[in-house]
Amino acid sequence: AQSVTQLGSHVSVSEGALVLLRCNYSSSVPPYLFWYVQYPNQGLQLLLKYTSAATLVKGINGFEAEFKKSETSFHLTKPSAHMSDAAEYFCAVGGGGGNKLTFGTGTQLKVEL
């Protein structure tokens, strides 16, 4: 069985500040981990994915995430928030030989001036 927990359904940061969105996972097999972003009235888009090649994964739009097995975490960060980063972010876990991803409940990121 696999699951993800996203801590904080809403996160608010100032423009230019660090973005940190938290994700913890549970998996009985080596996980594939993903971060997706959803802008209003759109489908989800992949930001980045971890598939065991490197623990620090760089994605699009300046985002990155670090896989920490000891902490079962895959937190998403961006050094400097931009207004265009305001969206909902989903963490997801997959693996075990199947395509089925399990998504977290999402974190709404608000960026303020």
Partner 1 sequence: DAGVIQSPRHEVTEMGQEVTLRCKPISGHNSLFWYRQTMMRGLELLIYFNNNVPIDDSGMPEDRFSAKMPNASFSTLKIQPSEPRDSAVYFCASSYRTGEKLFFGSGTQLSVL
Q: Where do contacts with partner 1 occur on this chain (CB under 8 A)?
A: 32, 34, 36, 41-46, 49, 51, 90, 94-95, 97-106
Q: How far is the CB of 16 from partner 1 (least distance, A)?
A: 30
Identify which of residues 15 and 88 has a Cβ nearer to partner 1 in the complex: 88
Contact between 84 and 63 (Cβ < 8 Å): no
Instruction: Give the nearer residue to partner 1 in terms of CB position, either 72 or 108.
Output: 108
Cβ proximity to partner 1, 67 vs 81, nearer residue: 67
- The span from the CA of 38 to the CA of 40, in Å, is 7
Task: Pick between residue 24 and residue 106 the one whose CB is nearest to partner 1.
Answer: 106
Question: Measuring CA to CA, how many Å separate 35 from each of 22, 50, 57, 110, 112?
Answer: 11, 9, 10, 17, 22
What is the nearest approach in angstroms of partner 1 to the Cβ of residue 49? 6
For 36, phi then psi, to 5°, come to -120, 155
Query: Shortest distance, CB of residue 95 to partner 1, whole angstroms?
Result: 7
Question: What number of other Cβ atoms are within 10 A of residue 65's Cβ?
Answer: 26
